[in-house]
Amino acid sequence: MSAVDTSPVVRKTALNAVHRQMGAKMVEFNGWDMPVEYPASIGGGIVAEHMAVRTAVGIFDVSHMGDIRLAGPGALAAVQHISMNDASKLAIGQAQYSALLYPQGTFVDDVIVHRLGEDEYLLVINAGTREKDFNWVRDNTTQFDCNVEHLSDDFTQIAIQGPKAVDVLQKLTDADLSAVKFYWVTRGKFCGLDNILMGRTGYTAEDGFEIYIPSHEATSAHVWYSILDAGKEFGILPCGLGARNTLRLEGKLPLYGHEISDTINVWEAGLDRFCKMDKPEFIGRAALEKAKAEGVKKTLVGLEMVDRGIARDGYKVLDEAGREIGYVTSGSPAPFLKKNIALAYIPPEHSAVGSSVKVEIRGQGVGARVVPTPFYRRPKKA
Amino acid sequence: MAYPTDRKYTKEHEWITADGTVGITNHAQDSLGDIVFVELPKVGTEITGGRPFGTVESVKAVSDLNAPVSGTVTSVNEALATAPEQVNKDAHGAWMLKIKIKDPADMNGLLSAADYEKFVSEEGGH
């Protein structure tokens, strides 16, 4: 048997046994034993799971994501200091995409900031950066009157994503989900559990929700199977990290360690609209001001392969003459768009939509062109 | 999964028949997941036993195709260029290459169906 299964350093979510029981193919991801896809025998596979989310509904175990709670009279000031978006704009129950930055204007992590109460904020962070993020937040907020708690292990986080997500979940809760706008949260009874946090958020470029339930194994399994049951009439599929990656790529949602990292700044990543320079102060602001004046040397673009071939993470991008000009951060076949797409960092002079470049695949320059992003945008509700 | 006994297998999960037809195993297609791209050599190419002769890509991964034995490519399954998913549907039917085997004795070094099945189960599978 594979050694990683029993290694103490590989962590498991409360749903691990459920995934195995369902026959999921498991992989190690950022120190977690996670499902990459479910078996064809239950309708799974990355392509089928991806299509379920685009056209119906899918359910993901995202309990490896972390949670940090800041609460107290100084919580807003603390959040403002450590994050680039403007949390003062959040109403109670509202959420925003943001990021924690180093003083150099590069990324500690990207986060979703939820305002849960008058002086209470919840940051949802990435799996691979949990400890780093918590230490960063704790160490950089000591001057504020607020408590910082690491709640990552308290929650099983389940994402229900797709145009039918709202219909599935409405069967299981007394909260009026149709009244919850995108990037807002509500609380309600869910599957018999009281006061469950449900956010209309996700990482698939589709409508959907993320719910936070106690990380008790039997409770988690009960909720998981109840959602699958409620979703049966809508064609729900359990989805693994494989589909999660292709879905987020079609929507140009950044992945830490790929599009954003400690060596990439906000302007290069093109996340300007989530970075509020009119805030007087936050960590990274001074460096970003300087970087803006200097201009960027590389910028994130979307590529579509013109010739036959699939760009993959780390492949070189070449100009038409074959000179190396950049690199692919994420590349894959796009199951819904049925194209081979990639995100890449290249110099601004090559980044205009329509520009021709090449991607080096097994020693050969394969034709690609710069295309508008996101590659996929969900259709507006009629 | 019963592996056909009319052919030999490699530890890299390819199969080859006595007349030189080459493909990948059901275990290989299952591990790879949805296959979206198959890159094969041209007719006339010399391939070397144990060395890569092409590439198969699923949505999530890129894998080398390794030659079970040395030989010369006499035919390529062109249908896989536009319908690579055939490999998922029928790995033991969706052949990739036909080769003229250089030395039929090389086939003796490959695994029987029973040995391959045992190898896969000991490897832990997926």
Q: What is the ipTM of this complex?
A: 0.89
Residue of chain A minimizing CA distance to B122:
A1
Checking if the pLDDT of B126 tops 60, the result is no
In a domain, A349, yes or no: yes
In a domain, B113, yes or no: no
In a domain, A145, yes or no: no
Considering only the beta carbons, identify the residue of B59, B88, B126 that sits closest to A332: B59
Considering only the beta carbons, identify the residue of B34, B55, B60 that sits closest to A362: B55
Mark whether A246 and A366 lie in a shared domain: no
Considering only the beta carbons, identify the residue of B55, B60, B88 that sits closest to A36: B60
Mark whether A173 and A27 lie in a shared domain: yes
Mark whether A301 and A239 lie in a shared domain: no
Assign B124 a pLDDT band (cuts: 50, 70, 90): low
**A153/A61 Cα distance (integer angstroms):** 14
Query: Mutate which of A25, A28, A364 to disrupt the B interface (most B C-beta within 10 Å)?
Result: A25
Residue A20, burial from CB neighbour count under 10 angstroms (0-12, 13-18, 19+): middle
The domain containing residue A176 runs over which residues? 3-64+154-250
Higher pLDDT, B122 or A371: A371
Mean pLDDT of A240-259: 98
Mark whether A210 and A328 lie in a shared domain: no
Token pair of A304, please?
Answer: 């579509």
Mark whether A242 and A165 lie in a shared domain: yes
Q: Is A362 on the interface with B (CB under 8 A)?
A: yes
| pLDDT single digits (tens) A145-173 | 999 999 999 999 999 999 999 999 999 99
Q: Are A177 and A198 in contact (CB under 8 A)?
A: yes
In a domain, A95, yes or no: no
Residue A139: its H or E element: helix A130-139
Mean pLDDT of A208-226: 98
| pLDDT single digits (tens) A327-360 | 999 999 999 999 999 999 999 999 999 999 999 9
Checking if the pLDDT of A184 tops 60, the result is yes
Instruction: Provide the residue type at B108 as one letter.
Output: N
From the CA of A360, how many Å to the nearest CA of chain B?
Answer: 14
Checking if the pLDDT of A245 tops 60, the result is yes
In a domain, A299, yes or no: yes
Q: Half-sphere exposure of residue A273, counting CA atoms within 13 Å on the CB side?
A: 1
Q: DSSP code of B90?
A: -
**A362/B8 Cα distance (integer angstroms):** 29
Assign B1 a pLDDT band (cuts: 50, 70, 90): low
Query: Interior CA angle at A358 toward A357 and A364, to 5°?
Result: 165
In a domain, B123, yes or no: no
| pLDDT single digits (tens) A38-55 | 999 999 999 999 999 999
Instruction: Provide the residue type at A327 as one letter.
Output: Y
| pLDDT single digits (tens) A288-315 | 999 999 999 999 999 999 999 999 999 9
Assign A3 a pLDDT band (cuts: 50, 70, 90): very low
In a domain, B40, yes or no: yes
Query: Interior CA angle at A180 toward A179 and A183, to 5°?
Result: 155
In a domain, B101, yes or no: yes
Q: What is the mean pLDDT of chain B?
A: 95
Checking if the pLDDT of A382 tops 80, the result is no
**Closest to A125 measured CA to CA, from A115, A140, A137:** A137
In a domain, A203, yes or no: yes
| pLDDT single digits (tens) A311-322 | 999 999 999 999
Number of residues that make up chain B: 126
CATH number at residue A194: 3.30.1360.120
Token pair of A203, please?
Answer: 């990482």
Q: What pLDDT was estimated at residue A8?
A: 60
From the CA of A247, how many Å to the nearest CA of chain B?
Answer: 12
In a domain, A125, yes or no: no
Mean pLDDT of A86-112: 98
In a domain, A103, yes or no: no
Chain B hits for A308, Cβ within 8 Å:
37
Assign A180 a pLDDT band (cuts: 50, 70, 90): very high
CATH number at residue B33: 2.40.50.100
Q: Is B60 on the interface with A (CB under 8 A)?
A: yes
**A368/A374 Cα distance (integer angstroms):** 16
Number of domain units in chain B: 1
Checking if the pLDDT of A9 tops 90, the result is no
Considering only the beta carbons, identify the residue of A26, A308, A312 that sits closest to B62: A312
Mark whether A60 and A162 lie in a shared domain: yes
Handedness of CA B7, B10, B14, B19 (dihedral sign): negative
In a domain, B69, yes or no: yes
Residue that finishes a domain, picked among A250, A285, A315: A250
Mark whether A53 and A190 lie in a shared domain: yes
Residue that finishes a domain, picked among A197, A227, A250: A250
Secondary-structure percent of chain B, ordered helix, strand, coil, rounded to 5: 25, 35, 40
Chain B hits for A41, Cβ within 8 Å:
none
Handedness of CA A180, A184, A188, A192 (dihedral sign): positive
The domain containing residue B68 runs over which residues? 7-105
Number of domain units in chain A: 2
**Cβ contact A362–B37 (<8 Å):** no
Q: What pLDDT was estimated at residue B2?
A: 84
**Cβ contact B124–A333 (<8 Å):** no
Mark whether A217 and A322 lie in a shared domain: no
